[in-house]
Structure formats: C-alpha cells, structure tokens
C-alpha cells in the first residue's frame, strides 16, 4: 500500500521488537511518519537485555518508504510520555495513529502456575507494564489525536475478545493483562466516538517475534524447515509485519469508524482487506487454533493460510 498513509503521523509505543517493530515498518511501507518508542537503544538496553533497538526500528521504517523517528521513552513515566507527545505536536502538529503495543512481560509470566504460586512482584510488574503503560500513553496522546476526525487507536493484545472470554490464557496475571487491554479499547471507543475517532483491539496470531524464533532455534528464513518446536508453529505462524499491515489497512480505510470498539485479528482482517504476510500468505491463526490445534488435530494449514 505505498503512499496510502502519506502525510499521516503515527506513534508506535513499544516499537523495539515484535509486533511493535512490524507495525512501525508496515506503516512506513504505506508512507507514514512513525515515532518509534521503547527503552532499548544502542547506548543502553532495558531489563530484557536484548539486542534490538528503537534506532534499528526507525531505520527500517525509513528504508520501507516512511520516515522513522526513534525516541527513548519509558511509558511508565508520565513526564517522559508527556514530553514525547509535546515533541510530536511541535514537530508535526498532529497525530493520526496511536498504537499501544507496550508489553515487556514475557520474562515475568510464569506459565501454567496458579495465582498463589506465581511470583507476586513479577505478576504485578507484568500488569503495570501491560496496562498502566497503555493508560498513561493514551492520557497524554489522545488530546492531540482528537484534534482531527479520523484518528485511530490500536490496543495491541493477544487473543480476540471472543477467544479470551472462554479460554484461560496460561496465567492469571497474563490472562488479566490481555483481557484488560481489549476492554480498554472498548472504553476508549466510547470516549472517542464524539470526535470522529476510532479505538479497537487487535491481535496477531502465532507471532514469529525475535524471541520466539530464538526459543524454537530457527530464523525468519528457516522457520518452515526448523526441526525443533511445535509443529503448529511451523504450520500457522506469521511475521510481525502481518499484524502491522493490518494496522496500515485500518488506518487507510474510509469506513474505519464502523469498527469502533471492535476486537480483530490479523488473519481475519487480511481476508477482508486482502493484504498478505511477507511470504504472500494470509495465515488465519485464531481460526486455526480453535479448529485445529485446540481440537487436537494434526498440524495442517490447508485452508488457513
């Protein structure tokens, strides 16, 4: 979609890696100016202690055709977030797309561990990273976004509203975090409707993030042939760019307000808008997980990508 988002300004909060980086690049593909925020820079890493940086993300945005701007921000610090929005206002005078993708809880979640055995400090920190950051960012960014009708707020989560309502998400803390973000999108949709702006929740499918590729011992080039890991991952996983292209398609949709308050998946939106992943496929992970993986069937992507 080259040029569809020319002259649009986006803030991807949590753009260092994973879905945030994929979203920032996809918005760049469409011509947007993208502020890429996070805590890991070339000078200093966050407690994740991973090599990805916001500067790399911004450079990838520019290489894709947009304008990438890296800004180091801890979204738990209100003053830092306020300063970020003031900078966007001073430099651009507008904000068209806000993507709340801050997460940072992978190393804090204790999977399949009951609440009373889960580390309490880690669980509460996970909730702060997953929910408080989104609230703080929206608090300061929305006054700039509502200056013009047509603005879009995307709350990035894991799982659709329908799926999370009936499935336990591996940890009480994780379950609460991802469900709360979906509800936050709904709440913001009601507050933004009078300004002609839209808020919604969006989930990728089984994401080939940098961390997930490392866990399975594969790369973005070898994930299909990798000999380790879950075979369903090889069948239905998607690159971070796929959910990013969903955001770009939403931002360019003149009928966007009809989606206000909704919960969507990358695979579901791909069927509607026609965009593809980087390999040309359209993986529909959440339908696959219900109909194949959760049903106990053998891995088979036929009809799902």
Structure tokens at 108: 């804090």
Is residue 227 pLDDT above 60, yes or no?
A: no
- Does the residue 298 lie in any domain? no
- Does the residue 299 lie in any domain? no
CB contact at 8 A, 27 and 246: no
- Does the residue 141 lie in any domain? yes
pTM over 0.75: yes
For 258, counting Cβ atoms within 10 Å of its Cβ (0-12 exposed, 13-18 middle, 19+ buried), the class is exposed
According to the model, what pLDDT value does residue 225 have? Answer: 78
Q: What is the rounded CA–CA span in Å between residue 71 and residue 52?
A: 14
Ramachandran bin of 241, using left for φ above 0, alpha for ψ from -120 to 50, beta for the remaining angles: alpha
pLDDT per residue as tens digits for the range 141-151: 999 999 999 99
Nearest to 77 by CA among 145, 13, 144: 13
- Does the residue 304 lie in any domain? no
Q: How many domains does the chain have?
A: 1
Higher pLDDT, 139 or 47: 139
pLDDT per residue as tens digits for the range 91-135: 999 999 999 999 988 889 999 999 999 999 999 999 999 999 999
Structural domain that includes position 132 = 9-293
Alpha-carbon separation of residue 103 from 84, 127, 231 (angstroms) = 18, 9, 26
Q: What is the rounded CA–CA span in Å between residue 93 and residue 121?
A: 40
DSSP per-residue codes, 22-75:
HHHHHHHHTT-EEEEEES--SS---TT--S--HHHHHHHHHHHTSEEEEEE--T
Is residue 79 pLDDT above 70, yes or no?
A: yes
- Does the residue 152 lie in any domain? yes
- Does the residue 44 lie in any domain? yes
pLDDT per residue as tens digits for the range 238-249: 999 999 999 999
Structure tokens at 19: 């879905």
CB contact at 8 A, 23 and 244: yes
Q: What is the CATH number of the domain that holds 261?
A: 3.40.50.720
- Does the residue 24 lie in any domain? yes
The owner of tokens 């960012």 is 137
- Does the residue 266 lie in any domain? yes
């Amino acid at each position: 979609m080259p040029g569809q988002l020319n002259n649009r300004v986006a803030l991807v909060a949590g753009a260092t890696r994973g879905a945030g980086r994929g979203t920032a690049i996809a918005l760049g593909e469409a011509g947007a100016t993208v502020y890429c925020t996070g805590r890991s820079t070339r000078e200093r890493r966050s407690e994740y202690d991973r090599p990805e940086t916001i500067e790399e993300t911004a450079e990838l945005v520019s290489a894709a055709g947009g304008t990438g701007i890296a800004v180091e921000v801890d979204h738990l610090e209100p003053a830092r977030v306020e300063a970020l929005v003031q900078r966007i206002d001073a430099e651009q005078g507008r904000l068209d797309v806000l993507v709340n993708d801050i997460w940072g809880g992978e190393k804090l979640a204790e999977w399949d561990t009951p609440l009373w055995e889960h580390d309490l400090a880690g669980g509460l920190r996970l909730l702060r990273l997953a929910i408080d950051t989104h609230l703080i960012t929206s608090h300061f960014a929305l006054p700039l976004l509502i200056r013009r009708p047509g603005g879009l707020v995307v709350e990035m989560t894991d799982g659709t509203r329908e799926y999370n309502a009936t499935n336990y998400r591996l940890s009480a803390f994780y379950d609460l975090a991802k469900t709360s973000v979906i509800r936050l999108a709904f709440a913001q949709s009601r507050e933004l409707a009078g300004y002609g702006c839209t808020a919604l929740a969006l989930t990728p499918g089984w994401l080939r993030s940098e961390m997930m590729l490392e866990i399975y011992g594969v790369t973005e080039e070898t994930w299909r042939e990798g000999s380790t890991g879950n075979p369903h991952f090889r069948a239905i996983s998607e690159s971070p760019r796929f959910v990013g292209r969903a955001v770009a398609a939403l931002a360019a949709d003149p009928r966007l307000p009809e989606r206000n308050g909704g919960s969507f998946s990358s695979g579901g939106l791909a069927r509607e808008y026609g965009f593809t992943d980087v390999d040309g496929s359209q993986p529909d992970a959440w339908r696959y997980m219900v109909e194949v993986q959760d049903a106990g069937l053998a891995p088979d992507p036929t009809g799902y990508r």
